Amino acid sequence: MAYGKKESEHTKFILERVKGLSTLVPGNPYHLRKKINQVGNVITDEVHDIVLKEVVENNLISEDGSSFLFTEFEIFFRR
């Protein structure tokens, strides 16, 4: 018999890099990452999880209205 709290199952995602705007599909969730600074082995980055609404020129527009410049972020698709 086990005592204590049962370990929760962690959901693991495989991130697949998106290399072009033509492969982005509205309504799909994407993971955006922008490297800000690196000191030794410590990397500081800006991360956003969005659901894409549309692509306007080089801007990614999320369903909540946020806008992200395509050239500033690495874009990943969650599997």
The domain spans of the chain are 15-78
Three-class secondary structure of residue 71 per DSSP:
helix
So what's the pLDDT on residue 10?
64
Distance of alpha carbon 27 from alpha carbon 60, whole angstroms: 12
Distance of alpha carbon 35 from alpha carbon 23, whole angstroms: 23
CB 32 within 8 A of CB 70: no
Q: Report the first-to-last Cα separation within the chain, whole angstroms.
A: 36
The token pair at 2 is 């086990």
pLDDT digits (tens, 9 = 90+) for 7-56: 666 677 789 999 888 889 999 999 999 989 999 999 899 999 999 999 99
So what's the pLDDT on residue 12?
76
